[in-house]
Structure 1
Amino acid sequence: MVNAFEVSICIPTCNRPDLLDLAIRSCLAQTYPHIHVLIGDDSTDDRTQRWMQTHYALERRVHYLRNERSLGQGANVSRLFERAHGDKIVLLHDDDLLEPDGVRTLLELWDRVPDLEVAFGDQYLIDMQGRIDYAASARCNSDFLRTASAEGLQAVPGRTGLVSMFPNNGWLANADIVKQVGYQSQYGAGCDYVFGVELCLKAKKIYYVKRYVSSYRRTPGASSVVNRGSLRSSALEALRLVSSLDLSHHLEPARRIAYKRMVPVAVSTLSRNNEPVTGLRLAMRHLHAYHYGLSRRFYYHMMLIGTSWFRRRRKTPRF
């Protein structure tokens, strides 16, 4: 049954032809044969276009399109989803990789659960040279609640997205549900998380398999790294979404877990960007994120808030 599906692997890219090439190679090396690769190029120069013309012009499984104008990550991914004509969709960022049996591993879950909608597995952490950090990979998957005890159909699908268990890429899903959800470009650096939350809230059947299916590269130029510490950070954007959601009562515990992960990062970011009052209100509203003041992180953040407040006072002109 698995061989009945055509899989569209969508790769958004921007100014990284060397890493994109590695990502494409990992797709073409899949043990599952019925795949095609869609590339949306948001680059500001023509290096990627020239690389694709030189190396992949004759590869029928690779379909390249350079955007006429820069769309930004969210809109670029959305356009890729619109172009996808496969039964299933995989998202892979241009600096990441698929394991050779990644697509087949996830597709085989549809043999177990024919009406499955979404599937995902574990991610390796790799450096710029592609070397796997096995210990850090295990810790990372555990930190995001991808553990052996969680394997299988997810009892509360929406929870999977809210608590950040769902990965930013390397997942596989039915094309129709992916296209319905789309990517929300207004969330900037937080669009990966926002998509995961909305997809999991919409899906009825999501399966997590305790196997490595992709690799996440720790890239200095990644948008999550570039925007970290700014008021456009992924943590603040994700917090904005989570705070706005109208959730059923059985998903409120998941929202609290999300707050516990996001709030301390957001408070620190606000304090470092001269928004101490907003940071203080956020911390006081979500004291559970700091174990109700029993965390050393709480007092460190209070110090940051105080420092930020005095810094603002000193800059305020007096008449």
Structure 2
Amino acid sequence: MFTFPSSQSHSSPQVSICLPTCNRPELIAECIDSCLAQTYGNLEIVIGDDSKDERTQQLIAQRYPNEPRIRYAMNQPPLGQARNVASLFERAHGDKILLIHDDDLLTTDGIEKLVSLWKLHPQLEVAFADQYEADHTGAVDFEASTRLNTAFRRTRDAQGLQPLPGRTGLIQMFPNNGWMANAELVKRIGYKEQYGMCCDFVFGTELCLAAREVFYLHEYVSVYRKTAASISQSTRGTTVAATVNAYAFVKALKLPSQLEPSRKLALRRLAPIVVSVYAKNREPLLGLKIALTHLFAYDYGFSMRLYYHLLMLSRAVVSMPQRFRQVG
């Protein structure tokens, strides 16, 4: 077990919990309650509401009328995912910022565990930890939780200050919420609208690249809840999908030589997905170019996935004339 120093002192830093929400009043109350139940006291909850109606606004007014730690704002017109999060960062008053989405939860001691790391490592700028996986009701699946964190390289042997902070973001070890970072750094990096649905991956990568020290804690601090209303569902499988934008971002990054192996790891994951997306969207030439450029992602021809994708691309080529006749 990791030993945490006491963080409850008069000089404890204020933590701003940034909570973007959109059309999910049935879930956000549980998220807010998990924030208010923290064992760490010096916090504020900054909410940005992109909802199309007033249900969330009414719920917060009725449920938390005398809660000074909640700072709520309804965005009119809605800002969209990236600008909503960016506005929350700007509104945050705290020394540290933590992001949590409206359908997720914090463990009761989550903030205390993360903020305590700064007492051990005064130069620390970014910290993150493990996520539980839960269904839409909030019931935790412990086996799935282990698989989730292992898939993102969050394992006990990885705990500690990361030797290459930038690698953490590139290989997607860094989570999309439940992390904590110095407010100054978070505000400097910001959420960038031009990257669409992969703005969280871009932010995490840029944050870790800019940080002097990043700490991974092998302890659970948040709950990732799988819901049918996942924000990425609307574009999944299209050429504006998060993975396509993430691939373009990683390809274009200017990196020091010691992070080139991390870029290759990221592209090994992203490139085959992008090839599949282009095949499904009848853009076989683009897909073929990416496949041939990233043969390392297919074990240089020893992966059956390559031949499956080549089959998909050939079918896309065959279907192109028929599609053009329909258009004409």
TM-score range, shorter chain: over 0.9
SS at match of 2:77: coil
Equivalence map 1:214-253=2 (5 Å): 214-253=222-261
Q: 1:2 aligns with which of 4, 7, 31?
A: 7
User: Letter of the aligned partner of 2:7 in structure 1?
Assistant: V
**TM-fit CA distance, 1:244:** 0.9
* Alpha-carbon distance in structure 2 between the residues aligned to 1:138 and 1:281: 36
TM-score in terms of structure 2 length = 0.95
Q: What does residue 293 of structure 1 align with?
A: 301
Q: Which amino acid aligns with 1:189?
A: M
Q: CA deviation at 1:136?
A: 1.4
Take 2:210 and 2:157, find their aligned partners in 1: how far apart are those partners? 24
Report the 3-state secondary structure (helix = DSSP H, G, I; strand = E; otherwise coil) of the residue aligned with 1:108: helix
Paired residues of 1:220 and 1:226 also in contact (CA < 8 A): no
After TM superposition, give the deviation of residue 201 of structure 1 in Å: 0.5
Q: SS of 1:33's equivalent?
A: coil
Secondary structure of 1:193's counterpart equals helix
Following TM superposition, by how much is the alpha carbon of 1:227 offset from its aligned partner in structure 2, in angstroms? Answer: 1.8
Partner of 2:109: 101
The Cα RMSD (Å) is 1.3
Q: Per-residue deviation at 1:83?
A: 0.2
Q: How does 1:59-78 map to 2 (within 5 A)?
A: 59-78=67-86
Identity rate, percent: 49
Distance across 1 between alignment mates of 2:148 and 2:301:
26
Q: Which amino acid aligns with 2:205?
A: V
Bigger Cα displacement from structure 2, 169-178 vs 132-141: 132-141
- Residue 118 of structure 1 deviates from its aligned partner by 0.5
Which structure 2 residue ranges, 5 or more long, are not aligned?
1-5
Deviation of the 1:316 alpha carbon: 2.2
2:126 aligned with 1:126, yes or no?
no
Q: Hey, what's the Cα distance between the residues in 2 that align with 1:225 and 1:92?
A: 19
Q: Which amino acid aligns with 1:295?
A: S
Deviation per CA, 1:111-163: give whole Å up to 9, x if none.
11011101000011111011111111111111111111111000000000000
Counterpart mapping for 1:42-57 below 5 A: 42-57=50-65
List gaps (5 residues or longer) in structure 1.
none
Which consecutive aligned stretches of 4+ in structure 1 deviate over 6 angstroms post-superposition? Answer: none
| Counterpart among 138, 144, 156 of residue 152 in structure 2 | 144
* Alignment: residue pair count: 319
Q: 2: CA distance between counterparts of 1:267 and 1:80?
A: 35
- Residue 86 of structure 1: aligned partner: 94
Check the 8 A contact 2:123/2:212 in 1, yes or no. no
Task: State the Cα distance separating 1:313 from its structure 2 match.
Answer: 2.1
8 Å Cα contact 1:2/1:110 also seen in 2 = no
Counterpart position of 2:3: none
CA–CA distance in 2 between the matches of 1:260 and 1:220? 28
Q: Does 1:113 align with 2:118?
A: no
TM-score normalised by structure 1 residue count:
0.98
